[in-house]
Amino acid sequence: MGGKQSRLSGKELEEVQANQRRRSTLRPDDQGLSSAAERIRRHATVHFGFSTLSLAMRSLDEPPVELWELRELQKLNLSMNCLCSLPPTLGALDNLVILNLWGNNLSSLPPEIGLLKKLRVLFACRNRLSEVPEELGSCTCLEVLSLANNQISSLPNSLASMQNLTKLNLSHNRIAIIPTCVYNMKRLVFLHLACNRLETIADQIQDLMYLLNRLGKLACHPLDKGLHIVHNPLLKPIQEVLQGGLSALYNYLKPS
C-alpha cells in the first residue's frame, strides 16, 4: 500500500489552478522576467516589520528590470552605485516608505516618483541633480528629504504641499534665494542651507520670521535642529549678526 496522500482543500485547489492558468498565459519572456524577479525577491528581508531590499554598493549602472515587479517593497536601498537615471517604472513600487538613492550619478528624478504616495524618507544626496520634478510635491507623506551635495538652484512651488516634512537638507547646492515653498512647510524643524550661494535672507522678512520661530535656533552642529546657513556669501545679515544667534537675527530683522 502506498503512503498517505495529502489532500488539497477546495480553496487551495482553486488557487493552484489559478496559478497554473496564470503561468500558461505568460509569454516566454514574461516567464523569464517573473523567475528573475523571484530570485531578487529572495534577497529581500523583513526589517522592523518592513519589506526591505538593499542593492547598495553593487556597481549598478542601471537597476535590474525585474526590481519593479516587487511591489510589496517598503524600503529600497540603491545607494553608492553608478546609476545615471531611473526608469518611469519606479512609480510601480507604490508601497515604498523609504528610498535611498545616495551616492549615484543621477542627473534627474523621473516624474513618476510622484506616484510613491506612501514615501516618508527620500535620500537623493550626492548625485548630479540640477532640478527637482514638480511631481515630487505629490509625495505629501514625506517627513525627511535630503537633496544635499547636488547642483540644485531652486525648488518647485509644488513642494509647498509637503505639510508633514520635518527635515529638509539642501546643503552644498547652488541656492541663492531661500525657496518660497519652504515657508509653507509648517512642521519643518531642520533646514540645512549651509554651503550654498545665499547672499541675503532678508528678502521675505515676515515669512522668514515665522520660519525662524518654528526652527527655533541657528544651528551649528550638522545634526542639530534649526536653521543651518553657515558657509554662504551672506551680505545681509552680516556674519557678525549671525554669530549673535537667533535673538540677534530677530533684532536685525525687526522693522526699525
| pTM > 0.85: yes or no | no
pLDDT digits (tens, 9 = 90+) for 81-98: 999 999 999 999 999 999
Other Cβ atoms less than 10 A from the Cβ of 254: the count is 9
**Contact between residue 124 and residue 146 where contact means Cβ atoms under 8 Å apart:** yes
pLDDT digits (tens, 9 = 90+) for 220-256: 777 788 888 888 887 666 566 666 666 666 666 665 5
Which DSSP helix (H) or strand (E) runs through 118?
A: none
Chain Cα centroid distance, residue 234: 29
SS3 183: helix
SS3 169: strand
Return the percentage of the chain with pLDDT > 90, whole number.
58
Q: Which three cell numbers stand for residue 65?
A: 528590470
pLDDT digits (tens, 9 = 90+) for 111-128: 999 999 999 999 999 999
Q: What angle do CA 48, 126, 88 make, to 5 degrees?
A: 70
Q: How confident is the model at residue 6 (pLDDT cuts 50, 70, 90)?
A: very low
**Contact between residue 226 and residue 249 where contact means Cβ atoms under 8 Å apart:** no
Distance CA(198)–CA(125), nearest Å, equals: 19
- Residue 214: closest CA among 238, 185, 241, 189: 189
The DSSP secondary-structure symbol of 200 reads: B
Within the chain, residue ranges assigned H as helices are 10-25, 28-41, 205-215, 239-243, 245-253
Q: Is the dihedral of CA 223, 226, 229, 231 positive or negative?
A: negative
Beta bridge partners of 200: 236
Average pLDDT, the chain: 83
**Contact between residue 174 and residue 197 where contact means Cβ atoms under 8 Å apart:** yes
Phi/psi at 198 (5° precision)? -65, 125
Q: Which domains does the chain have, with CATH numbers?
A: 43-253 (3.80.10.10)
pLDDT digits (tens, 9 = 90+) for 30-69: 444 557 778 888 878 888 889 999 999 999 999 999 999 9
The confidence score (pLDDT) of residue 58 equals 95
The more confidently predicted of residues 20 and 99 is 99
Beta bridge partners of 145: 122, 168
Q: Is the dihedral of CA 179, 156, 89, 164 positive or negative?
A: positive
Distance CA(79)–CA(53), nearest Å, equals: 11
Other Cβ atoms less than 10 A from the Cβ of 99: the count is 24
